[in-house]
Amino acid sequence: MDMIVTQGLCKTFKSKGKDKGTGKDAGVEAVRDVDLRVREGEIYGFLGPNGAGKTTTMRMLTTLMAPTRGTATVVGHDLFRESRRIRQDIGYVSQKGGAYEYASGYENLVLQGRLYGLTRAEARDKADRIVLQFDMADYARRIVQTYSGGQRRHVDLGMGVMHDPKLLFLDEPTTGLDPHSRARFWDVIRTLRREGITIFLTTHYLDEADQLCDALCIMDHGRVVAAGSPEELKREVSGDVVEIGLDPANVAQAAGLLEGMGGVCSLETTENSVKLLVESGETVLPAALPRLVQAGIAVARVEMKRPTLDEVFQKVTGRALTEAEIEAAAGGGGAGSGAGSGGGGWT
Interface residue list for other proteins (CB under 8 A): 59, 62-66, 84, 87-88, 90, 92, 94-103, 107, 111-112, 114-117, 159
Complex with other proteins: residue 159 or 227, whichever CB lies closer: 159
Return the amino acid letter for 76.
Answer: G
Least gap, CB of 273 to other proteins (angstroms): 53
Instruction: Give 289's contacts (C-beta < 8 A, 6+ positions apart).
Output: 244, 299, 302
212-225 core/surface letters (b: 16 or more CB in 10 A; e: else):
bbbbbbbbbbbbbb
Return the amino acid letter for 2.
Answer: D
Least gap, CB of 78 to other proteins (angstroms): 17
Least gap, CB of 225 to other proteins (angstroms): 26
Complex with other proteins: residue 107 or 236, whichever CB lies closer: 107
Complex with other proteins: residue 281 or 336, whichever CB lies closer: 336
**Angle at 149 (CA atoms; ends 159, 44), nearest 5 degrees:** 55
Least gap, CB of 14 to other proteins (angstroms): 11
Residues 218, 225 contacting (CB under 8 angstroms): yes
Residues 247, 234 contacting (CB under 8 angstroms): no
Complex with other proteins: residue 14 or 180, whichever CB lies closer: 14
Residues 321, 206 contacting (CB under 8 angstroms): yes
Least gap, CB of 280 to other proteins (angstroms): 42
Please state the φ and ψ torsions of residue 320, each to the nearest 5 degrees: -75, 155
Distance of alpha carbon 195 from alpha carbon 213, whole angstroms: 16
Complex with other proteins: residue 118 or 233, whichever CB lies closer: 118
Least gap, CB of 114 to other proteins (angstroms): 4
Least gap, CB of 93 to other proteins (angstroms): 8
Distance of alpha carbon 201 from alpha carbon 194, whole angstroms: 16
Complex with other proteins: residue 112 or 273, whichever CB lies closer: 112
Complex with other proteins: residue 156 or 208, whichever CB lies closer: 156
Residues 224, 217 contacting (CB under 8 angstroms): yes
153-169 core/surface letters (b: 16 or more CB in 10 A; e: else):
bbbbbbbbbbbebbbbb
